């Protein structure tokens, strides 16, 4: 069977439409690839630290005594003063992906005994179960008296506090290699 000239002309407009559509789609792929490359470059050059609100815990701030709840549900008062130890304050949630990413770092740092004069106050902000066993006591949030948690803008939070209650350093989000090195220096490990 041979094709007639009438059949060939009917295919030509359809072929033209398909060629134009392919060219348009190819152009869109190029534009999207360029935008993807541009956005990746912007993300790589952007600071990894989130923009912190002005009332976030930072070095030089002072913490007052606050209440937490131990695993049995008993209120516990975390106090600061000349006789108090230095405090490593860890704030996290069981459902937070960044917190899960931070857990191996915290576990690695805290499987070694801390130097004398240190305590770990880990506060879980929700009631979920831990995915991994933790080498420290985990307290619950005292909902009636949430301070200083009202000054923690992002979790996970890793805060180093002097015996007097002065914040020496604070890290929000997943600890970077530099954050970990600074934390090891602060802890003396």
31-43 tens-digit pLDDT: 999 998 888 776 6
Domain ranges in the chain are: 1-47, 66-187
Residue 65, both tokens: 């005594």
pLDDT number for residue 10: 55
Quick check: 176 pLDDT over 80? Answer: yes
pLDDT number for residue 145: 63
Quick check: 51 pLDDT over 80? Answer: no
Interatomic CA distance for residues 154 and 174, integer angstroms = 10
Using CB atoms within 10 A of its CB, is residue 187 exposed (0-12), middle (13-18) or buried (19+)? middle
Quick check: 47 pLDDT over 50? Answer: no
Quick check: 25 pLDDT over 50? Answer: yes
Using CB atoms within 10 A of its CB, is residue 116 exposed (0-12), middle (13-18) or buried (19+)? exposed
Q: Which 8-state DSSP code applies to residue 84?
A: S
Quick check: 54 pLDDT over 60? Answer: yes
Matching CATH number, 66-187, of 3.40.30.10, 3.30.450.20, 3.40.50.280, 3.30.365.10 = 3.40.30.10
Q: Quickly state the pLDDT bin for 81 (edges 50, 70, 90).
A: confident
Asked if residues 63 and 80 have their Cβ atoms less than 8 Å apart, the reply is: yes
């Amino acid at each position: 069977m041979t094709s007639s000239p009438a059949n060939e002309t009917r295919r030509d407009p359809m072929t033209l439409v398909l060629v134009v559509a392919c060219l348009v789609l190819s152009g869109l792929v190029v534009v999207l690839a360029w935008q993807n490359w541009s956005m990746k470059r912007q993300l790589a050059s952007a600071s990894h630290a989130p923009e912190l609100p002005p009332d976030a815990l930072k070095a030089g701030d002072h913490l007052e005594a606050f209440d937490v709840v131990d695993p049995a549900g008993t209120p516990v008062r975390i106090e600061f003063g000349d006789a108090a130890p230095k405090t490593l304050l860890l704030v996290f949630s069981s459902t937070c992906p960044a917190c899960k990413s931070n857990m191996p770092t915290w576990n690695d740092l805290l499987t070694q005994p801390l130097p004398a004069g240190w305590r770990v106050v880990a506060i879980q902000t929700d009631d979920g179960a831990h995915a991994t066993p933790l080498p420290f006591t985990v307290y619950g949030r005292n909902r009636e008296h949430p301070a200083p948690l009202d000054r923690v803008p992002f979790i996970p939070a890793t805060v180093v506090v002097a015996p007097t209650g002065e914040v020496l350093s604070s890290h929000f989000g997943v600890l970077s290699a530099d954050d970990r090195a600074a934390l090891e220096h602060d802890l003396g490990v």
